[in-house]
Amino acid sequence: MKLAAPPTLGSRFVAALPGDAEKENRSRQVSNALYTPVLPEAVSDPRLLMLSPTLSAELGLDEAFCQSDSFARLMSGNELFPGVVPFATRYGGHQFGHWAGQLGDGRAINLGELVARDGRFMNLQLKGAGPTPYSRGADGRAVLRSSAREFLCSEAMHFLGVPTTRALSLVLTGDQVVRDMFYDGNPQKEPGAIVCRVAPSFTRFGHFQLCAYWGELDLLRLLIHQCIRDDFPHLGAPTIDSGKDLSRDLMLRWFEEICQSTARMIVHWMCLGFVHGVMNTDNMSVLGLTIDYGPYGWLDHFDPEWTPNTTDAQTRRYRYAEQPDIALWNLYQLANALLPVLEDVPSVEKILQAFPLFYENEWFNRMGEKLGLEDRSGDEGRALIRDLVGLLTLRETDMTLFFRALADLPLMGDVGQDIAVLQHTFYGSEPVEGEHLEQLSGWLQRYEARVKQEAQSPAQRHERMNRVNPWFILRNYLVQEALDRVQEVGDFSGLHALHAVLQSPYAEHKDFPGFHRKRPDWARHRAGASMLSCSS
């Protein structure tokens, strides 16, 4: 059978913006440019390990082509798509609250964009394909454990309904990569791998920040114009070559949309118990997409102070409860970068000051959905939600299992029966007692009264709650178990099983009961099963 030819790729980013005049691929500072042309570095034996069938179909890629050796070579950078001029982009950012200067795509190489079946432009980017001028002396490679986590979590978030970058493929390189996972002076060789990430745009807050920092205002103005024209076409920006400048009103509407999409993304994270782990400004997408899956994690037991990032273990800047405030702090940094062009401090401040209330309303609405409430606007429902958050901290409670179990409550006036349904969601075998029993009983009585007030049938409530409370989340320990089997016996079946289940996270998978359980004790403090480092 004849394989479909690979599509031709282009790049509106490259076409509209100035590139680096120097072509040598060496670590250096780059000025007055937004990207540097750079070729991926060949690997010895590219082999496709995982593919997103839904994404490949959305991109219009032929199924047989995606299983071919040619596709593996393209997804490793050993071959190039027609029309491709690979490039790495230049940006800066605040890391852990401190200005870090130039950062850029240190191990990501952009291939360009194609037009998907729905008409959207989608950019393809190889992560781990070799060094770029922004690698800061590193090798630009990635190892299997981090690449598998990124592939799986990108797709898991998509199927959960969270705004995110996607992952098209995971390719083994056949090469070994040296990494010091624990930063303890004991580097080890690990199998290398490359993820192909896909998004409408990979433009970050940090792209604008670095232009502003260096006073490159013409470049900043051009980047704003390109971003609005290409990534926010519904705003109706004039073409760049029209000679018409962007109006201040249009730019303000653009900034407000960035703030609101960022807020919605964080609401999704918080309501599912996801912790990004490294919310630096260079890891924030202007499209409000979750990007850069490094030391991420999911709340096993509900702990507002938890962070999955070992680098952040002391200050916990990026802990679960802090994510909304960090998002706003990051938006302030973006605003400071844009003000030399926007030149309207009062309007920008007004947009930023509206963020907390916008976020709060979105969060209450989403949490009300998780409780199965039809009316989510009143003070009574909001009080019920607030009190539940406090209740979940009284005893170690598995957040995912708890919300899923709420749909199964009889709510027939017998609080003891309801608590029995919830018992498996609490860590430890001891019965519910003391303050926890008192507060949980009181909350369940209020919840039952509210549900009966809305006159929902048990079947209606069960169905609507299970649409928004997942049966499956990609817990770190599950991925670690699968990676252990790869390392010990070369068995990749665990990774494939996770990939299969994550594509329908709200359905009950009776063939995989082990994917719907509390974190085992062995995983509580084990590296990779709970917290992760930034090393890859």
The residues annotated with a catalytic role in the active site are 282
- State in Å, rounded, how far the first CA of the chain is from the last one: 39
Both tokens of 337, joined, read 């970068």
Both tokens of 443, joined, read 């909350």
Residue in the block written with tokens 């170690």: 396
**47: closest CA among 152, 193, 167?**
193
**277: closest CA among 297, 263, 262, 291?**
297
Q: How far is CA 329 from CA 278, 295, 336, in A?
A: 14, 20, 11
Cα separation of 140 and 155, whole Å?
23
Residues in the chain: 536
Cα separation of 82 and 80, whole Å?
6
Query: Please, what's the b/e burial string for 319-346 (b: 16 or more CB within 10 A of its CB; e: otherwise)?
Result: bbebbbebbbebbebbbebbeebbebee
**175: closest CA among 77, 292, 68, 297?**
77
Rounded-to-5 percentages of helix, strand, coil across the chain: 45, 15, 40
Cα separation of 422 and 408, whole Å?
9
